[in-house]
Amino acid sequence: MAPGGLVARVKSSLFTGFGRTHRVDSLVVDRTLNAITVRSGPGTPMNEPHPNVAEALASLAITHEIIPCDPAFADTAEFCREYGYPLETSANTIIVTSTRGEKVYSACLVQASTKLDVNHVVKRLMGASRLSFASADETRELTGMEIGGVTVFGLPADLPLYVDEALKAQPYIIVGSGNRMSKVKMAPTELAKIPNCSFINDLSIS
């Protein structure tokens, strides 16, 4: 076995995995990371973040780690169970929309072990009389991201972002990468680098 747990490297072949067959330039299997890195183009791994997310991470100088993920385990509970991360260190990005009057949206980030307080705190923040979670189609259209990978990075510049203050108590948090093939791990204080981010007390309920 090569250093770092590298056990296989195959070039110019077909790779069947994650529910589809890919023609790839390079396939790397790493037991240490419990991950597969698939390179489908000139040096670009398929489990890299969504391009808009990658651009935001770079432009905001976010100190972070990319965690490769099997798309079958991209949903938060499944991800934590499969890869051994505590649920409280994962954070869900939730798109909320008004259902009366002018259509407005916001993005909210809360611990996966809690629930977003839509009916009180978010309603007050958005100044709307009635709210609901955006549908999957609305979320895709607004963010351009895959369901199960929606994240706080690379969102529309005019979309308010509300982050639960309680996340600051975690040693690190894990959020989506815009797709279902990776996650972003970072210190919660890195979120303050996002221009439209507001930390909100009691944004979540147990």
- pLDDT tens per residue, range 47-86: 789 999 999 999 999 999 999 999 999 999 999 999 999 9
Average pLDDT over all residues of the chain:
83
- List Cβ neighbours of 84 (8 Å cut-off, separation of 6 or more): none
Please answer whether residues 177 and 57 qualify as being in contact, where contact means their C-beta atoms are separated by less than 8 angstroms: no
If one compares 21 and 186, the residue with the highest pLDDT of the two is 186
Q: What's the rounded mean pLDDT across residues 122-148? A: 95
Q: What is the DSSP string of 67-128?
A: EE--GGG-SHHHHHHHHT--GGGBEEEEEEEESSSS--EEEEEEETTSEE-IIIIIHHHHT-
Q: How far apart are CA 112 and CA 8, in angstroms?
A: 34
Q: Give the C-alpha separation, 125 to 145, whole Å.
A: 24
Q: Which of 28-32, 173-177, 188-192 has the lowest mean pLDDT?
A: 28-32
Whether this prediction's pTM lies above 0.85 is answered by no
**CB neighbours of residue 75 within 10 Å:** 16
Tens digits of per-residue pLDDT, 12-52? 334 334 433 333 343 343 333 333 344 444 444 567 899 99
Domains delineated in the chain: 3-39 (no CATH), 51-205 (3.90.960.10)
Three-state SS at 188: helix
Phi-psi region of 12 (alpha: psi -120 to 50; beta: other; left: phi over 0): left
